[in-house]
Structure 1
Amino acid sequence: MNKLYIYFLIFIAPLWSMSQSKHPEVLVYGYGPDAYAAALQSCMSNLNTVWVINGDKVMPELTSTVVSVDANTGLDAGIWAKLLANTLRHDKPSDSLSALAKRRINPRIVQNVVDSVLKANKNLTLIEGGQLRSVKKSGKSWQIELADRSRFKVRAVIDASVDAYLYQLAKGNVDSIAARTALADDYFQAGAYEGLSRTGVAVGDLGGRSFTLPLASLVPPDDSNLFVTHRLPVIERLLSGTVDDIPLLMHVGQAVGAAAAYTAFFKTTSDKLDSRNVQGEILQYGARLIPFGDVAIEDPHFAAIQRIGATGMLLGRADSDGRLYFDVDQPVTADEIKPVSNQLFSRSQIWFVDHPDVDTLTLTDLFSYIKFVGQRGNELEGQVQKYWKRRFQLDGEYDENIPLTRRLTAVLLDAYCKPFDVKVGLDGVLQR
């Protein structure tokens, strides 16, 4: 064999392969919590990502001085909750760990955690103290040039800077920043989580009132794949200028990071985002879609309840302060699930017509519904009984005559009918 060819195989080919695999597809610009979460989520979504840090420090809000965060009580999730757990030397986040960690966040510990996390992400390229020279759209890609003349060609760009400088270079004045859907003030006063809330991707609280931001309020109004976080109109309206902004910025950054990664991975544009795909991606990493304050992220049924909540089949109960609760142990009536179920499944209408006298549902009723709508066979009961504790982690003994609780309904509908798989547009309309 030719010696030159052997040399190529041993030394050159691996380097060439490495350079190809590191070709960036998403670029994040900024240094705050939203930039950190966006860059990290893009990496976790398996996209090669460049993070241009336009400052002296990553997340100075958390790595400069001891702080205490009071916002988002019971709503911490995703990358933010994971960071909080890690500061207490725990790998798995929980609501109790988040509450404890937020009382006193040590900057040195946060810095150590962040350094460790960033180092572990091999498909992330960090450029510290990076300064932009030019930002131009070229065909379906963005061409970014830095002050040191380094260049990047990427499919999607996220401007998470406080002054939206990248956006200004690309499109002009920050006053032109807009989202696909502008949220009216009464959106945050509404008690029902349906419509646009079906596409919720970032939760928070406003004066104690919980909310979820729909995907369309965080993405561009066009097909540009130029995403903005901090300077989006809805985000600016919600920010207080204090450390209590950190949880919301983290959640928004994670959602936008997933959206940008979606456009890059599928080689599509921001006007063609798949809401359920983005929601499913961030849910995989512990994010909250709907702000149920009584379902902890460590709950074994957290993901199922989040998915069912996002369909609108089982809406939450808002208290007088605007906090939302799922009420896992409350019974379920046919009238409660009927409206949205009929929108989700064509056969659902027939089942309810054939069962006009059903009111409070039992497990037997749910089996009948799942068999008819989900076209399941008579093996269903035996399968659920077999998996009652081992797979579904349900309490109590299996009994087909027990009244349905909201928890049980969510778990079994999610497992056997998969209503979350029904597409929903960016406008919140179900697309059966």
Structure 2
Amino acid sequence: MNKRYLFFCLLVVLPVMALPQSKRPQVLVYGDGVDAYAAALQSSMSNLNTVWVINGDVMMPELTSEVISITANADLDAGVWADLLAKTLRHDRRSDSLSAIAKRRINPRIVQNVVDSMTTVYKNLTIIKGGEARSVKKSRNDWRIELADGSRFRIRAVVDASAEAHLYRLAGREVDSIRARTTQPENYFQMGLHDGLSRTGVAVGDLDDRVFTLPLGALAPADDSNLFLTRCLPALQGLLRHTADDIPLLMHVGQAVGAAAAYTAFYKTTSDKLDARNVQGELLQYGARLMPFVDIPIESPHFAAIQRVGAASVLLGRLDEVGRLYFDPDSAVTADEVQPVLNRLFSRSQIWFVDHADVDTLTLADLFSYIKFVGQRGNELEGQVEKNWKRRFQFEDDYDEKQPVTRRRMAVLLDVYCRPFDVKVGLDGTIQR
């Protein structure tokens, strides 16, 4: 055979042979609900090859069957859920005001059109409608899943978002045995969201108007299986109302679980080795809320910085009488309220506070002094901040080093120059400096 002809044939065949290997699924999501949608979309956005097996004929029946209205999660809608709400009103950018308007009357036909358009954007997302799992087996580091039509998948991470934990049971496990990595204390939903587990928060919601954030460990398997669950998790059992008001929380949980599953698949690791800050950072990139501050709108230019600093417990929220959490962005900051956690985050922090024991309400100049000492910044800091005061940092009032530093300004400047969110935390919220 002519060698040049043989070489040409190889050039034609090799890309075809390589295609399935490059497109090999890494995450499989099973279920037809809103949590399955959010998990599949987040996994795809995280650039993982994702298969979404819809175990039914209808995608997201909670939203696509009839006209509904939702009252839950006022000022807490975020992530892919807020994106969907905005797009039902023909807007490309999410906002709290759009979410509030959209939730008053959700039209199933419009939702279906939006979902169809959003799911086609991600070429690494494969959707199988009417799929039914027949067998689920663990094989070393992967799961082998076979569908009733004979389709087979070898998957690193699996999200079982079915209402009856179908994959979990097919894997030979009992639903009564479902456990999460972290068990919240009984009074978790009555406690202030100040530190500990809330540092690892990944999904916000409200219960009788009292806001909360679910920690990552409460959504992760208790073992190293990479078999994730959504609505059958113990943490959700006392939170779901079995009404349309469950949708925002399920969306947030699904997105968080999707990010966690994507993390294990991308890093070829196991669910017992989840990195809380990595998963939280990925969620923030796609507009999720970690802390349920109801007075910081998602469209705020300072939203992400305040979320990060809040999750680091540098600036704690204020709970009102019904349990709504406020950041109070324009309130002044005192040394006493930030010193304990800053001393735990940064080794040099204690020395600065000892040397400035007479400081009560922090001024902008005090914050500069702290940043230069702890973050080892030079004397050019003030000039940089003044130059970027309105253009980059988008502060509205005039630059004045003598003015008390507000919680908003401190959050933004600490986030940029000291990066407290980068300090690792365990799944139990323990700071790991």
Task: Flag whether TM exceeds 0.5 (same fold).
Answer: yes
Residue 173 (structure 1) shift: 1.7
Matched with 2:295 is 294
Report the counterpart of residue 68 of structure 2 in structure 1: 67
Question: Distance between the aligned counterparts of 1:45 and 1:31, measured in 2?
Answer: 21
Determine whether 1:6 maps to 2:18: no
Greater shift in the superposed pair: 269-278 or 145-154:
145-154
Aligned to 2:84: 83
- Equivalent residue of 1:205, what SS? strand
Alignment of 1:311-350 (within 5 A): 311-350=312-351
3-state SS, counterpart of residue 424 of structure 1: coil
Match of 2:137, SS state, is strand
CA deviation map 1:128-149 (0-9, x unaligned): 1101111000001101011111
Provide the residue aligned with 1:26 in structure 2: 27
- 1:114 paired with 2:125, answer no
Question: What one-letter code is carried by the residue in structure 2 that aligns with 1:2?
Answer: R
| Aligned equivalents of 1:24, 1:44: Cα separation in 2 | 14
Say which SS state the counterpart of residue 65 (structure 1) adopts.
Answer: coil
Farther-moved stretch of structure 1 (183-192 vs 238-247): 183-192
Q: SS where residue 238 of structure 1 aligns?
A: coil
Q: Does 1:94 align with 2:62?
A: no
SS in 2 for 1:98: helix
One-letter identity of the residue aligned with 2:9:
Y
CA distance in 2: counterparts of 1:37 and 1:421, whole angstroms: 26
Query: SS state of the match for residue 382, structure 1?
Result: helix
Deviation at 1:20, TM superposition (A): 2.0
CA distance in structure 2 between the partners assigned to 1:403 and 1:128 by the alignment: 58
Q: Deviations over 1:316-347 (max 9, x none)?
A: 00000000000000000001110000000000
Q: Return the offset for 1:178.
A: 1.0
Matched AA of 2:29: V
Between the aligned partners of 1:271 and 1:406, the Cα distance in structure 2 is: 35
Q: Which runs of 4+ in 1 moved over 4 A?
A: none
Which amino acid letter does the alignment assign opposite residue 4 of structure 2?
Answer: N
The corresponding residue for 2:421 is 420
Distance in 2 between residues matched to 1:3 and 1:65, nearest whole Å: 60
Aligned to 2:409: 408
Alignment partner, residue 309 of structure 1:
310
Summarize the alignment of residues 88-237 of structure 1 with structure 2, pairs less than 5 Å apart: 88-237=89-238
Gaps of 5+ in 1: none
Contact 2:312 2:421 in 1 (8 A): yes
Q: Which residue of 1 aligns with 2:57?
A: 56
Give the alignment of 1:267-278 within 5 angstroms. 267-278=268-279
Report percent identity of matched pairs: 71
Distance in structure 1 (CA, Å) of the matches to 2:377 and 2:167? 52
**1:38-53 correspondence runs (5 A):** 38-53=39-54
**What is the CA-CA distance between 1:207 and the residue it aligns to?**
0.2
Q: Report the Cα offset of residue 19 of structure 1.
A: 1.6
Cα distance between partner residues in 1 of 2:402 and 2:307:
26
Greater mean alpha carbon deviation, residues 395-404 or residues 209-218: 395-404
Q: Report deviation, 1:5.
A: 1.8
CA distance in 1, matches of 2:294, 2:149: 47
Rounded Cα–Cα distance in structure 1 between residues aligned with 2:7 and 2:282: 43
Deviations 1:69-95 (A, max 9, x none): 110000000000000001000000000
Partners of 2:86 and 2:94 within 8 A in 1: yes
Unpaired stretches in structure 2, ≥5 consecutive residues:
none
Which whole-Å CA distance do the structure 2 matches of 1:130 and 1:235 have between them?
Answer: 26
2: CA distance between counterparts of 1:185 and 1:430? 23
C-alpha offsets along residues 163-211 of structure 1, whole Å, 9 cap, x if unaligned?
A: 0010001132211111011223310001242100000000000000000
Amino acid at match of 1:13: L
- Aligned mates of 1:356, 1:243 — CA distance in 2: 53
Q: Provide Cα deviations, 1:394-420, integer angstroms capped at 9, x if missing partner.
A: 111111111100000000000000000
State whether residues 134 and 146 of structure 2, in contact with CA within 8 Å, keep that contact through their aligned partners in structure 1. Answer: yes
Describe the SS at the equivalent of 1:211.
Answer: strand
SS at structure 1 position matched to 2:117: helix
How many residues end up aligned between the 2 structures?
431
| TM-score, normalization by structure 1 | 0.99
Alpha-carbon distance in 1 for matches of 2:181, 2:34: 23
Residues 290-310 of structure 1 show CA distances to partners (whole Å, capped at 9, x for unaligned) of 000000000000000000000
Partner of 2:245: 244
CA–CA distance in 2 between the matches of 1:75 and 1:51?
Answer: 27
The secondary structure found in structure 1 opposite 2:305 is helix
What's the RMSD between the two structures over aligned residues? 0.8
Could you tell me how far 1:386 is from its partner in structure 2? 0.8
Amino acid at match of 2:250: L
Aligned match of 1:281: 282
Alpha-carbon distance between aligned partners in 2 of 1:192 and 1:58, rounded to the nearest angstrom: 35
Report the AA paired with residue 322 of structure 2.
D
CA drift of 1:150 comes to 1.1
What letter corresponds to residue 22 of structure 1 in structure 2? K
Q: CA deviation at 1:13?
A: 2.9
Deviation for aligned residue 1:258: 0.3
Secondary structure of 2:43 counterpart? helix
Partner of 2:38: 37
Q: TM-score scaled by structure 2?
A: 0.98
Secondary structure at the aligned position of 2:237 is classed as: helix
- Determine if contact 2:146/2:153 at 8 Å carries over to the other structure: yes
Describe the SS at the equivalent of 1:298.
coil
Question: How many Å apart are 1:359 and its aligned residue?
Answer: 0.4
2:235 is matched by which residue type in structure 1?
V
